[in-house]
């Protein structure tokens, strides 16, 4: 669908975007079902219903790991849902990227759960349980690398989705603010994908020594992303200020 300023004027505006995709397409329904299935896989991995008091306590100890895994899954779902609402694209490339994201998420769900289990197990001094057993730091490094490859692919696909939206600027009738916001999103996902790839490489290269610590690099994202997007955020603020003056 080719949008015009007249047809866009009736749409809801949220976070600077005019929401072109508020009505769900079949691929969005399918992606929602796939994410729901991925969360179900997380629940199933918690094991069976407790049969006694000790098993109940053990099951309760698994909740933080499940909550962290669930939060990551929902964050991925929300970012894709926002993209769908903002642009409403249903072309071949967008569908392919969405299907690729679903595939990665369904593969990524177990490495995600295992890395969260081990993280809580290590940080709690073995108080939180972990069914997945590792016998060396090298094995932990490999798990970190597998997790990071999944992280890299998710970020790369999100980058591709926003790049696709940017390439459809004329068809979507994107205004200056929306193009700046898309540019900011592209920068964010580029940084995320590079980070995931670097962590995977570091974990594998230094696997026999301190490669398992490579995952700590993810804690740098709250610092790196604001720095990388600083100029774009200033341009966005300038655009918003100019629009306010014109409307005022």
Indicate the pTM of the whole model.
Answer: 0.91
Q: What are the tokens at 21?
A: 């995709």
Cβ count near 11 (within 10 Å):
15
In order of 11, 73, 93, 115, 156, the CA distances from 21 in angstroms are 10, 22, 16, 35, 22
pLDDT for res 152:
97
- What would the pLDDT profile of 33-79 be if each residue is shown by its tens digit? 999 999 888 876 655 677 788 878 877 888 888 899 999 999 999 99
Residue 197, pLDDT > 70, answer yes
Q: Which residues contact 167 (CB under 8 A, 6 or more apart)?
A: none
In 3-state terms the chain splits into helix, strand, coil percentages (rounded to 5) of 75, 0, 20
């Amino acid at each position: 669908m080719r949008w015009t300023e007249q047809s866009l004027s009736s749409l809801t505006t949220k976070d600077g975007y005019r929401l072109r995709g508020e009505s769900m397409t079949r691929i969005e329904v399918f992606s929602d079902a796939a994410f729901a299935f991925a969360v179900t896989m997380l629940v199933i991995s918690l094991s069976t219903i407790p049969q006694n008091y000790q098993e109940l306590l053990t099951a309760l100890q698994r909740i933080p790991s499940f909550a962290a895994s669930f939060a990551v899954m929902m964050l991925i779902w929300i970012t894709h849902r926002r993209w769908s609402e903002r642009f409403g694209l249903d072309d071949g490339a967008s569908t392919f990227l969405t299907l690729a994201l679903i595939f990665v998420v369904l593969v990524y769900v177990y490495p995600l759960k295992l890395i969260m289990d081990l993280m809580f197990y290590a940080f709690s001094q073995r108080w939180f349980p972990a069914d997945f057993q590792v016998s060396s730091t090298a094995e932990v490094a490999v798990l970190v690398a597998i997790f990071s490859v999944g992280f890299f692919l998710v970020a790369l696909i999100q980058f591709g989705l926003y790049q696709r939206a940017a390439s459809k600027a004329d068809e979507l009738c994107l205004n200056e603010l929306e193009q700046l916001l898309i540019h900011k999103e592209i920068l964010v996902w580029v940084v995320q994908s590079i980070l995931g790839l670097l962590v995977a490489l570091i974990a594998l290269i230094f696997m026999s020594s301190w490669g398992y610590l490579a995952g700590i690099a993810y804690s740098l994202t709250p610092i790196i992303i604001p720095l990388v997007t600083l100029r774009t955020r200033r341009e966005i603020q300038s655009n918003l200020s100019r629009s306010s003056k014109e409307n005022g």
